[in-house]
Amino acid sequence: MIQFDVLTLFPLIFDGFLSESILKNAIESGKLSVQLHNMRNWATDKHSTMDDRPFGGGPGMVLKVDCVVPCVESVRGGCGVAGRLIMLSPQGRKFDQRLAESFAVEERLILLCGRYEGFDERVVELLEPEEVSIGDYVLNGGEVAAMVLIEAVMRLLPGALGDCDSNRLDSFSSGNRLLDCAQYTRPREYRGLNVPETLLNGNHAEIEKWRNENSLQRTKLRRPDLLN
């Protein structure tokens, strides 16, 4: 059981994500829990202001240190395990399968989602979170990145997926640095396109060989960086 605590200004973004399909089943069968915390509850004024204009001027708004720090401290203190604190931020370390594997062995992960131009830098100085980015592009906030992280970690939890080793064979898991091979299902022929003959003849050694070669070929073409 791994507990995620998500600190966000927009908890409703997570509703559909948490209540459908594989993730819903994993939560219902106790593989993980996700607690949403609305950071606005830690605002200090009557208008529930969480952000303010940046010192020095410029566009956008900055999330206030005196709201965010007490919020994190309160959520952290609400459970015996302090947990690993992760700030979703485009300035962070690039998220990958290895980092997901290191998260999957934790008891508790606290995910801090930013909005606007980000957090007052003193949040980082005081709380020393691990900053994580999901790639080199800009999102409106950390919520979608937090969902990416939760889903990637959830797939690694024992028994969370129906088929017991379907995650071990995934692209990018430890011991597999190749892209997945091409897959086909019925019909055998569609608009003149045929399923490769090897996949139809029932020879499992040959099928395995075809798939390995297909994986290697696709990786060479599309992601040569994975082969080095």
- With binding defined as CB under 6 A, does residue 134 bind ligand 6GU? yes
Shortest reach from residue 92's CB to ligand 6GU, in Å: 6
Q: How far is the CB of 97 from ligand 6GU (least distance, A)?
A: 16
Tell me if 145 contacts ligand 6GU by CB under 6 A: yes
170/19 Cα distance (integer angstroms): 24
- Say how many residues touch ligand 6GU, by CB under 6 A: 12
Q: Among the candidate windows 20-28, 128-136, 160-168, 177-185, which touches ligand 6GU by CB under 6 A?
A: 128-136
* Residue 8 lies near ligand 6GU (rule: CB under 6 A): no
Residue 9, both tokens: 């200004």
Residue 186 DSSP class: S
Out of 142, 152, 160, 219, the residue judged to bind ligand 6GU by CB under 6 A: 142
Pairwise CA distance, residues 141 & 89, whole Å: 8
Q: How far apart are CA 75 and CA 11, in angstroms?
A: 15
Residue 89 in contact with ligand 6GU, rule: CB under 6 A: yes
Helices (H), 44-182: 65-77, 97-103, 121-127, 143-154
Q: Which two tokens stand for residue 88?
A: 């979703």
Binding of residue 219 to ligand 6GU (CB under 6 A): no
Catalytic positions, written as ranges: 90, 117, 155, 170
Judged by DSSP in three states, 36 sits in strand
Q: Please state, in angstroms and rounded to a whole number, the distance separating the CA atoms of residues 146 and 50.
A: 20
| Closer to ligand 6GU by Cβ: residue 135 or 159 | 135
Q: Exactly one of 135, 159, 168, 220 binds ligand 6GU (CB under 6 A); which one?
A: 135
How distant, in Å, are the alpha carbons of 45, 85, 117, 197, 221 from that of 64? Answer: 12, 18, 11, 62, 47
User: Considering the complex, what minimum distance in angstroms separates the CB of residue 111 from ligand 6GU?
Assistant: 10
155 Cβ contact partners less than 8 Å away, ≥ 6 residues apart: 161, 167, 170
Name the minimum Å distance from CB 113 to ligand 6GU.
8
User: Binder to ligand 6GU among 61, 124, 139, 157 (CB under 6 A)?
Assistant: 139
Residues that bind ligand 6GU (CB under 6 A): 88-90, 133-135, 137-139, 141-142, 145
